[in-house]
Amino acid sequence: MVDPDAVLFDAAGLISGVPNSVLVGGAGGGGGVLAAIFPDQTATVIFNSGFADVDDMKFDHTGRLVFSDDFPQVLVSNGSTPTVLFSTPSRPGSIAIDDDNRIFVALADGTIRIYNADGSLADGAFATGLAGLDTYLAFGPGPGGFGKALYVLSGSNLLSFNMRGKATIIGSGFSVGPSSGTGFVFGPDNALYVSEYNENRILRISRGHVQ
């Protein structure tokens, strides 16, 4: 695949058709590609039309696939051909989904917008002044000392946001980039994992400590 960016585990096989497959979003042929890697390590293209290079993707709490692309837009799929849920005023990058299935999107203009599950805009400026496409979002898992706050890596700073949009810097000195090139995810051990492309390393953050 050309320029693979987004990776997501498809435990139920909802999109891939095969449980425990891995979905990979990228570019190809002038557009976007969403492929599946099956447990036997064979791979196939699932979707390759109607969208541009895939930037990030998540499953919401109904099992629906939600992903952002370069057009700029956010699309959804329940296993059939993806459809556009909403368009954004600038390119969307990282996305995160809260317990109410609201979609938080980090945009190239340095804002975080919130959209309802039906695609309607809930908040056009939840946060502003962030690092554009060098901004990454993830909701805390609850256990592990993180709670369920929204965690945001914005440039070199790690912040937590409450649901009123109040930010607290909880870490600094991170190396991010290139755009869509940083992994930012909570693992099954409830620790936060951050990839640093320029430093050739993976950080594990557990209860406020970096390892």
Instruction: Give the phi and the psi of residue 197 in degrees, each rounded to 5.
Output: -55, -50
Band of residue 177 on the pLDDT scale cut at 50, 70, 90? confident
3-state secondary structure of 132: helix
114-142 average pLDDT score: 97
3-state secondary structure of 20: coil
| pLDDT (0 to 100) of residue 5 | 87
| CB-facing half-sphere around the CA of 13: CA atoms within 13 A | 6
Taking the CA atoms of the chain, what radius of gyration do you get in angstroms? 16
Cα→Cα distances 165→127, 145, 155, Å: 6, 20, 18
Q: What is the pTM of this model?
A: 0.94
3-state secondary structure of 17: coil
Select the highest-mean-pLDDT range: 16-25, 29-38, 190-199. 16-25
Report which of 78, 92, 68, 94 is spatially closest to residue 10, judged by C-alpha positions: 78
DSSP annotation of 119? S
Is pLDDT of 211 > 50? no
124-148 average pLDDT score: 94
Q: Report residue 143 as tokens.
A: 């256990």
193-202 average pLDDT score: 92
Band of residue 115 on the pLDDT scale cut at 50, 70, 90? very high
